[in-house]
Amino acid sequence: GGMGKTTLAQYVFSDGRVKSHFDLMIWVFVRQSLTAKEVMRNMVAFATDGTDLQDGIPLPPFATDGNDLHLQMHFQRQITNKKFLLVLDNVWNHELLSLQWQDLVDLIGFGAPGSRVLATTRSVRVGQTMGV
C-alpha cells in the first residue's frame, strides 16, 4: 500500500477530459470485507445518484430486497448504451472476484463501446483474475 494507486485513480476520475469522454462515471471503494453483492449495491447506488453507500445514502427499495437479479437488472438499465468508466478501488479478494468477475464482465457488455473498468489493487492475483 501507500504507492499512490488510489490517488492516481482519483486524479483520472476527476479530470475534466476524462469526465467529458464518458456518459457515466462510477466509483466503488471495495473494502476488504465487502461481498460481491455489496459491491454491486454500491455500483447501483453510485450509478443512480453519484454517491457511494459509504456516504450514508439509502438505496432504493429494490436494492435492499435481497434479490441479486434486481440489482443486476437495474445496473444493466443504468449503463445500457452509455459509455462509462467504472473504478473499482482497492480490490483485495481475488477468490471473490474470480467467482463474480464473469457476471460483471457480462453486465459491462451492455455499456457502449469505449466503456472502461479501472481497478486498483495490491494483489497480482486480482490482476490475473481480471485478465491483465
Domain range annotation of the chain: 5-129
Phi–psi pair at 117, nearest 5 degrees: -120, 130
Between helices 36-49 and 94-108, what is the axis angle to 10°? 40
**118 C-beta neighbours (distance < 10 Å), count:** 15
Convert the pLDDT of each residue in 28-37 to its tens digit.
888 776 777 7
Q: What is the pLDDT of residue 80?
A: 92
Convert the pLDDT of each residue in 61-81 to its tens digit.
545 555 677 777 888 888 999
Phi-psi region of 121 (alpha: psi -120 to 50; beta: other; left: phi over 0): beta
Full-prediction pTM beyond 0.75? yes
